[in-house]
Amino acid sequence: EAGVVQSPRYKIIEKKQPVAFWCNPISGHNTLYWYLQNLGQGPELLIRYENEEAVDDSQLPKDRFSAERLKGVDSTLKIQPAELGDSAVYLCASSSPGLNNEQFFGPGTRLTVL
C-alpha cells in the first residue's frame, strides 16, 4: 500500500515569490493534516481537513498561507508571498478513524527561501 505522497521534496525560491506543495494521502483516509517543522523542533499543526472541510485552521497564518482539498482527496498548501522565516519542512499526514486515528506522515517538502 502506498504511503502519503508529497511533492516536490525540495524547493528553493526567492523571498516574495509564491510556492505550492502537494499532498496525496493514503487511500481511504478522510482526515488530512498539514504540519510545519522548523529545524530542531517537532511538527506543528497548520490545518486539519475532514474530507473537504477545514475543521481546524486556527494555526494557519491566513495572511499568506492558504490550503485547499477540493475533492476530499489531494490537498495543496500555498504560500504567497514567501518570507525568509518560512524556510522549514512542510509535512502532510493522513489518518482514518478505524486505525485509532493514527497519523501517517509523508516525507515532507523542504522549503528554502533565499
Partner 1 sequence: GQQLNQSPQSMFIQEGEDVSMNCTSSSIFNTWLWYKQDPGEGPVLLIALYKAGELTSNGRLTAQFGITRKDSFLNISASIPSDVGIYFCAAVDYKLSFGAGTTVTVRA
Selected range binding partner 1 among 24-32, 61-69, 73-81, 101-109, rule: CB under 8 A: 101-109
Taking the complex as a whole, the smallest distance from the CB of residue 100 to partner 1 amounts, in Å, to: 7
Is residue 11 involved in binding partner 1 (CB under 8 A)?
Answer: no
Q: Are 28 and 73 in contact (CB under 8 A)?
A: no
**For partner 1, the closer CB: 54 or 81:** 54
56 forms beta bridges with 48
Among 16, 17, 28, 44, binds partner 1 (CB under 8 A): 44
What mask of x and - would describe binding to partner 1 in positions 17 to 36, judged by CB under 8 A?
A: ----------------x---
**For partner 1, the closer CB: 9 or 62:** 9
Q: Are 29 and 95 in contact (CB under 8 A)?
A: yes
Q: HSE on the CB side for 93, CA within 13 Å?
A: 20
